[in-house]
Chain A
Amino acid sequence: MGEQLNRAFRRVFGEGGGFQRLVIQVAAILIAFIFGAAVLAVTGYSPLEAYVSMASGAFGSRYGVGQTLTQATPIVFTSIAFLVGLKAGLFNIGIEGQFLMGAMGATLAGIYLSGIPWVVHVPLTILFGMMAGALWALIPAVLKSRFDAHEVITTMMLSYVATHFTSYLVNYPFKAPGWVSQSVRINGSAELPRILPPTQLSAGIFIAVIVTAASTYFLQRTVIGYELRATGLNPSAAENAGISIDRSILVSMALSGAVAGLGGACEIMGIHRRFIQGFSPGYGWDGLAVALVGGLNPVGSFFASVLFGALRSGGMIMTRATGVPLDIVNILQALVIVFVAAPKLIRKLLGRER
């Protein structure tokens, strides 16, 4: 029966989505929560109270669910961005920077294009965001393919550069009048509608669903998607089969950056409607964690994003209700990553291996 279940799960979730894998991912999450409970208990908080308040905050009301999905939306994009790179064997850990550049590209398109109808302005703004993210990701891609510069370091460094650069833009050339470091508001014709007031949930969630489906199709059913996966699994074999490694690097990084940029664009167009310095609490990093928890496939990432969105939205409620520092959420996420990193350890803890 196990084998049948495995096959069924693979059909739904794509490769790497076997049932056993799901068990391990869920176990990793549970173990992370147990360790998190230990941290809470040692520092004088009640783990039960914190977790209950977090869960009821995230799912216990219509408002909570709306905020959970709001928080999940950017993470869907950043996690798929990360896994598209990883499928080709690239650790794009600078998603945060591409996300910010995409947000900035969309902001500028939203402000400076005007007098055009909604049906034209929204796609154009999205396009600018995707292009900004893709171009930012192409820098480390070119450096990798031409000069062999390690992408883990270059993407990370460029992420810092993007943080400072966008913050420069909203402090100097594009600063709105007033004390806050932010741009002026984008035009109404570039906004994505809110779909569940009073929550901030926007139509961005639909775009997230489309990206999830499209990236699944792309990776599983297209030639380029196949080439990327082949490059990631075994670069030398791929090269022998006539696949250009350099092209795979450029394509996967451009796509990765475009998806991250799209995420930034949706966040601006649907939630903030302007670029505010420091608006991202680290969605790029969440993406890395979520992609791993989601078993490195888009559908899994979508559901894992909802879980992490719940951690963020429920976490805020928990902080208000119990006084537990919000950073426990980051600790939980990091613990999940650490345990997902070593499936062998989980198997051992589950008693499946010696």
Chain B
Amino acid sequence: MVELSNLINAGLFAAAIRMATPIAYAALGGMFSERVGVMNIGLEGMMLTSAFSGVAASYFTGSAWLGVLAAVLVGGLLGLLHAVLTVKYAGDQVVSGAGLNILAAGFTAYMSQVIWGTRGSSEAVNSIPDLTIPFLRQVPVLGRVLGTHSPLVYLMPVITAASYFLLFKTPLGLRIRAVGEHPTAAETAGIDVYRIKFMCVILSGMLAGLGGAFLSLSHLNVFNKGMTGGRGFIALAAMIFGKWMPFSVFGASLLFGFADALQMRLQSLGLLPPQIILAIPYVLTVAILAGVVGKARPPSDYKPYERE
């Protein structure tokens, strides 16, 4: 008989926060893209390519932080590609995103074979060490949940707050929302709609890239084939559940992170067959999308904007 305290304890909540981080980065990325009317189902591929690029950069330079930088840049580059295809050339957003996902799977497996000679995994590289916050660590219970984490975990709420500030407290944010809600009116008001859209989709890729970097350079210190495991899609669900609002998206990501952490914990306890446990986060995602969300209205209609 397994004690409940072996299942639910401070360690579980710490893991939940850890596992929420990559989802939250990607979900915020998805939010910026959808705020300007570009659906980004390529988040999964952007995360995966960035996770790979981060490890490759850390492998060649020896610096994990340069790895993070590379991951963010590559994520942004894929965002740019998605923007060129869907904004500039009015291509289908789902098709382009799906293409990016397949491209990412193929490219990362191919390149890891070229670089490390093994199909789909890298050598261990330098990763980002965890940070301990001295005062916080001393607090009972809470200290064990929040006290020691990767710097990328601590950066997460900061970026969430910054996203909120950018969207709702700055002129640029007003422009972003205008472009999403009514591009023609925005253009009439002198806003360069294409530029704003490009900017947001690139930002989307960069944020997904941070999520990927967290997975391969902080949570682990290697790249594995398909290591994102659908987190890009779960991030889309978190974005919808959070109704495209930064803090709500962050909160929703915590919920999905908890499911992921619980799944890992249950696996280590060996109560159920691993295949059944592995399916839990995906089932939960479907259930949440269907049940709790109700009528979630996207902030834009996903139509490509074409100038007169």
Q: Give residues in A with beta carbon < 8 Å to B.
A: 39, 43-44, 91, 93, 139-140, 143, 146-150, 152-154, 156-158, 160-161, 164-165, 167-168, 171-172, 285, 288-289, 292, 325, 327-335, 337-338, 340-345, 348
Give chain B residues whose Cβ lies under 8 Å from the Cβ of A288. Answer: 98
Known: A157-B282, A338-B96, A342-B85. A168 touches B233 (CB 8 A): no
User: Are the CB atoms of B102 and A337 closer together than 8 Å?
Assistant: yes
Stretch in contact with the other chain, from B87-95, B140-148, B150-158, B167-175: B87-95
User: Are the CB atoms of A344 and B95 closer together than 8 Å?
Assistant: no
Give chain A residues whose Cβ lies under 8 Å from the Cβ of B269. Answer: none
Given contact pairs A338-B99, A338-B100, a sample of 16 additional A-B residue pairs in the complex whose CB atoms are under 8 Å apart: A39-B107, A140-B286, A146-B290, A147-B289, A158-B286, A161-B286, A164-B282, A168-B273, A327-B106, A327-B113, A331-B107, A334-B100, A338-B96, A340-B95, A341-B85, A343-B91
Residue B291 at the chain A interface, CB threshold 8 Å: yes
Q: How far is the CA of A200 from the CA of B282 in the complex (A)?
A: 35
Give chain A residues whose Cβ lies under 8 Å from the Cβ of B237. Answer: 153, 157
Known: A157-B230, A164-B275, A168-B273. A345 touches B283 (CB 8 A): no
Give chain A residues whose Cβ lies under 8 Å from the Cβ of B230. Answer: 156-157, 160
Q: Which of B90, B273, B279, B290 interacts with A147 by CB under 8 Å?
A: B290
Known: A157-B230, A341-B85. A152 touches B41 (CB 8 A): yes
Measured between C-beta atoms, what is the minimum distance from B150 to chain A in Å? 26
Give chain A residues whose Cβ lies under 8 Å from the Cβ of B279. Answer: 160-161, 164-165
User: Are the CB atoms of B110 and A341 closer together than 8 Å?
Assistant: no
Measured between C-beta atoms, what is the minimum distance from A276 to chain B in Å? 15
Give chain A residues whose Cβ lies under 8 Å from the Cβ of B84. Answer: 345
Q: How far is the CA of A39 from the CA of B108 in the complex (A)?
A: 12
Q: How far is the CA of A246 from the CA of B111 in the complex (A)?
A: 44
User: Are the CB atoms of A334 and B102 closer together than 8 Å?
Assistant: yes
Give chain A residues whose Cβ lies under 8 Å from the Cβ of B295. Answer: 148
Q: Which of B100, B102, B110, B233 interacts with A325 by CB under 8 Å?
A: B110
User: Are the CB atoms of B89 and A344 closer together than 8 Å?
Assistant: yes
Chain B contributes a number of interface residues (CB within 8 A of A) equal to 52
Q: How many A-B residue pairs have CB under 8 A?
A: 158
User: Are the CB atoms of A342 and B114 closer together than 8 Å?
Assistant: no
Q: How far is the CA of A345 from the CA of B87 in the complex (A)?
A: 11
Q: Which of B101, B102, B104, B282 interacts with A161 by CB under 8 Å?
A: B282
Kindly identify, within residues 33 to 54 of chain B, every residue whose CB is under 8 Å from any CB belonging to chain A: 39, 41
User: Are the CB atoms of B98 and A93 closer together than 8 Å?
Assistant: yes
User: Are the CB atoms of B98 and A158 closer together than 8 Å?
Assistant: no
Measured between C-beta atoms, what is the minimum distance from A297 to chain B in Å? 16
Give chain B residues whose Cβ lies under 8 Å from the Cβ of A335. Answer: 99, 103
Kindly identify, within residues 117 to 172 of chain B, every residue whose CB is under 8 Å from any CB belonging to chain A: 119
Give chain B residues whose Cβ lies under 8 Å from the Cβ of A344. Answer: 89-91
Q: How far is the CA of A21 from the CA of B236 in the complex (A)?
A: 33
Known: A143-B289, A149-B289, A154-B286. A345 touches B102 (CB 8 A): no
User: Are the CB atoms of B96 and A334 closer together than 8 Å?
Assistant: no
Interface centre among B39, B101, B107, B110 (most CB of A within 10 A): B110
Residue B293 at the chain A interface, CB threshold 8 Å: yes
Interface centre among A328, A335, A341 (most CB of B within 10 A): A341
B39's nearest neighbour on chain A, judged by CB, is: A152
Give 5 nearest A-B pairs by CB, closest first.
A330-B106, A342-B91, A334-B103, A337-B99, A168-B275
B114's nearest neighbour on chain A, judged by CB, is: A43
Known: A158-B286, A160-B279, A337-B102. A150 touches B233 (CB 8 A): no
Residue B185 at the chain A interface, CB threshold 8 Å: no
Q: How far is the CA of A292 from the CA of B94 in the complex (A)?
A: 12
User: Are the CB atoms of A327 and B109 closer together than 8 Å?
Assistant: yes
Residue B23 at the chain A interface, CB threshold 8 Å: no
Residue B285 at the chain A interface, CB threshold 8 Å: yes
Residue B240 at the chain A interface, CB threshold 8 Å: yes
- B267-291 CB contact bits vs A (8 Å, 1 = yes)? 0000001011011001101100111
A91's nearest neighbour on chain B, judged by CB, is: B94
User: Are the CB atoms of A331 and B90 closer together than 8 Å?
Assistant: no
Give chain A residues whose Cβ lies under 8 Å from the Cβ of B107. Answer: 39, 327, 331, 334
Q: How far is the CA of A30 from the CA of B298 in the complex (A)?
A: 37
Q: How far is the CA of A337 from the CA of B103 in the complex (A)?
A: 9
User: Are the CB atoms of B273 and A171 closer together than 8 Å?
Assistant: yes
User: Are the CB atoms of A342 and B283 closer together than 8 Å?
Assistant: no
Measured between C-beta atoms, what is the minimum distance from A214 to chain B in Å? 26
Q: Which of A140, A153, A341 interacts with B92 by CB under 8 Å?
A: A341
Q: Which of B103, B240, B278 interacts with A150 by CB under 8 Å?
A: B240
Q: How far is the CA of A140 from the CA of B290 in the complex (A)?
A: 9
Measured between C-beta atoms, what is the minimum distance from A147 to chain B in Å? 5
